[in-house]
Amino acid sequence: MYLIAGLGNPGREYEMTRHNIGFEVIDYISDNLGVKVKKLKFKGLYEKTSMCGEDVILLKPQTFMNLSGDSIRDFAAFYKIPPEKIIIISDDISLDQGRIRIRKGGSAGGHNGLKSIIYQLNSDQFIRVRVGVGKKEHESQDLADFVLSRFTKEQIPVLEKAIINAEGAIKEIITNNTESAMNKYNGK
């Protein structure tokens, strides 16, 4: 069984913001699988389903970004899912908008959601699918303001392509392995 968690902040005011790209990917996957991620458990909205012949849990933690690890820890413990079978989808400001990068293990890279997950799992060995949301428009712009800003109408097609690629990468991880997904999707 895999736990696939998209990171974001709950609430309408955060919909379609850069920080919520993980929620967007989970919504896209769930739509394609014909399921709704709406059951509430362990501070998260989730649905158990099947993807590529494997049992999966799709999860959107509802704790705000910097406490994402609380929900993920509880799901992992309850369903006995090791870190190596946890896939986290998050935004990344160091990647060009629309690019994705898959990685297994490593630091949080300054991302508060990833920091929380590493702390709560006491491991950094989970799989990350990071989606590039671009860089701040100018150096003086507050980082929080930037990641909580919405995508422009012109940026939506790039965002949609990234979401499709993120789903493809997750399917590749489940079907083959992380390395295969990295070879096929890193930089796309």
Tell me the catalytic residues: 19
Q: How far apart are CA 174 and CA 165, in angstroms?
A: 14
Helix-helix angle 21-33:156-175, to 10 degrees: 60
φ/ψ of residue 187, rounded to 5: 90, -10
Question: Structure tokens of 38?
Answer: 């709406």
Q: How far apart are CA 138 and CA 16, in angstroms?
A: 21
Q: How far apart are CA 134 and CA 95, in angstroms?
A: 6
